Chains A and B, each alone.
Chain A
Amino acid sequence: MDSGHTSWMLIATALVFFMTPGLAFFYGGLVRAKNIINTVMMSFMSIAIVSIVWVLWGYSLAFGTGNAFIGDFSHIGLSGISFASAEGDDIPPLLFVAFQMMFAVITPALITGAFAERFKFSTYLIFLVIWSTLVYAPITHWVWASNVLADGTEVNGWLWDLGALDFAGGTVIHINAGIAAVAAALLVGKRRNPGIQPNNVPYVVLGAAILWLGWFGFNAGSALAANDSAANAFLVTSLAASTAALTWGVISHLKTGKMGAVGVATGAVAGLVAITPAAGAVNAVGSLAIGFGAGLICFFAVELLHKTNMDDALDVFAVHGIGGIWGAIATGIFALEAISGTQGLIEGNVKQVGIQAVAVIATVAYSGIVSLIILFILDKIPGLGLRSSESDEDIGLDLAEHGEQSAVQDGAN
């Protein structure tokens, strides 16, 4: 165990943890004032529930040996995960478990933006358990699981073997959550009053800033060491966010004559999403191109999707789905051999773009279909169902689901 690597990874893990409360503010500021507590609670409860799922069976299904498609039950309750580091480990095994736990926590929380302001809270808590188990764990296994058996044979996830580049989880986290958001938005239906009426724009900017900070842990931490790759990931992460925020702001200024804070904050998040798979593969100039593409593509994706009949309340698909797909493909374009060990399109390797596309298509298909099935079944179970009652939706989910309001005048006593 190396104390330098371990120190950095402890901090990175805490940074990734803080992304989920950051997301709570980002989403919470975007909804109507009567739904802010409910929106914040959806992210917060993901921390409480998915952490438990992760140590009980999630980690085992994601990183256990198993086969190319899913892990096994060998690490139930973290059995077989040693307290003590083995010879040659950079970081303690339990630190890797904790770092990955934070990724598992934020992924379903990202989906909640799609069904904000109308989703039944009790059903959501059950959805967290099932979706983490049946969708998050397998896709994580495909991309990141790599185990060596006692006889020396390697058992890897099939996308790992294929050579797909996903440094910090563009497919596993963002495309996955983005497409599940489509399934959720379609099945839960449109709100009674669609549209975005942000109740607190500074919360949106604060949330985006916390996400940005946390993303240093997310991307630079995905090097799993304090090394050259982590430093490069740190730099390109920030640059992509800056470029995408600027691009989004300039486009909206050109179109409307004004540059809104909600748009710029959303642009920053789109840039962070897009650089996620590429952070271990591109250099600073590549990250500018990725950030520019993210701002441009996601801006028009939001516009286009608002014209459809799907009520993805907080544009999860446009930002995380489309931004994630752009990032995955752009990784295949801008990857540099000197950084990732793999050549991208700009160094003449056309094949890498195809490999990236396979990873995208597989994730979209699996997550989309299984998320639809899970939500369809939850909708049919008596006593559950996806949708809040009409009166709860009118009153606001803060009072209806939680018996609380974000800002009240004092009572007489």
Chain B
Amino acid sequence: MLKIEAIFRPERVGAVTDSLLVAGVTGFHYQNVTGQGQQKGVEVVTGRGGQTTRSASSKTLLVTVVSNDKKDAVIEAIVSASRTGEIGDGKIFVSEIADTIRVRTGESGDSAI
């Protein structure tokens, strides 16, 4: 059982969620986040005519939990939907998780995902 956390450009959220569903993901949640990566998160902002920079950029963080056999398909779905080839495309983190429990029924394991 894996937790996949993906950080990508906010404008890609529609494309990513569409392709996740195609890849067989049953649920996910996402939020808009602010931060920085290797690019130092530099974002150019138009102020009063001139431009200022701030060391933080807006990204979307999506979290989903899937069974181990779906790992490659889900990662491929996220990469293909979010890659532009430019700096700032984001990251995907994969981690093992111990268990999932469905609150309504109390069942656990892969069938609760």
Q: Which residues of A contact B (CB under 8 A)?
A: 34, 193, 391, 394-396, 402-405, 408-413
Residues in A with CB closer than 8 Å to B58 are: 405, 408-409
CB-CB nearest 5 A-B residue pairs: A403-B46, A411-B54, A411-B56, A409-B34, A394-B11
Interface flags, B39-78, vs A, CB<8A=1, else 0: 0010111100001001110100000000000000000000
Q: Is the CB of B11 within 8 A of A411?
A: no
Interface flags, B64-101, vs A, CB<8A=1, else 0: 00000000000000000000000000000000000000
Q: Which of B11, B46, B56 contacts A395 (CB 8 A)?
A: B11
Residues in A with CB closer than 8 Å to B11 are: 34, 391, 394-396
Q: Is the CB of A411 within 8 A of B43?
A: yes
Instruction: For the complex formed, measure the closest distance between the CB of A314 and the CB atoms of chain B, giving whole angstroms.
Output: 21
Residues in B with CB closer than 8 Å to A413 are: 54-55
Residues in B with CB closer than 8 Å to A408 are: 34, 58
Residues in B with CB closer than 8 Å to A405 are: 58
In the bound complex, CA of A285 to CA of B54 (Å): 59
Q: Which of B14, B44, B55 contacts A403 (CB 8 A)?
A: B44
Instruction: For the complex formed, measure the closest distance between the CB of A239 and the CB atoms of chain B, giving whole angstroms.
Output: 44
Select from chain B the residue with minimum beta-carbon distance to A33: B32
Q: Is B19 an interface residue (CB 8 A)?
A: no
Q: Is the CB of A193 within 8 A of B14?
A: yes
Residues in A with CB closer than 8 Å to B34 are: 408-411
In the bound complex, CA of A411 to CA of B56 (Å): 5
Select from chain A the residue with minimum beta-carbon distance to B33: A409
Select from chain B the residue with minimum beta-carbon distance to A400: B11
Residues in B with CB closer than 8 Å to A403 are: 44-46, 51
Select from chain B the residue with minimum beta-carbon distance to A192: B14
Q: Which residues in window 1-24 of B have CB below 8 A to A?
A: 9-12, 14
Q: Which of B14, B41, B51 contacts A411 (CB 8 A)?
A: B41
28 pairs from A and B in contact (CB 8 Å cutoff) = A193-B14, A391-B11, A394-B11, A395-B9, A395-B10, A395-B11, A396-B11, A402-B46, A403-B45, A403-B46, A403-B51, A404-B45, A404-B46, A408-B34, A409-B34, A409-B56, A409-B58, A410-B34, A410-B56, A411-B34, A411-B54, A411-B55, A412-B36, A412-B41, A412-B54, A412-B56, A413-B54, A413-B55
Residues in B with CB closer than 8 Å to A410 are: 34, 56
Residues in A with CB closer than 8 Å to B12 are: 394
Residues in A with CB closer than 8 Å to B36 are: 412
Select from chain B the residue with minimum beta-carbon distance to A193: B14
Residues in A with CB closer than 8 Å to B43 are: 411
Instruction: For the complex formed, measure the closest distance between the CB of B16 and the CB atoms of chain A, giving whole angstroms.
Output: 12
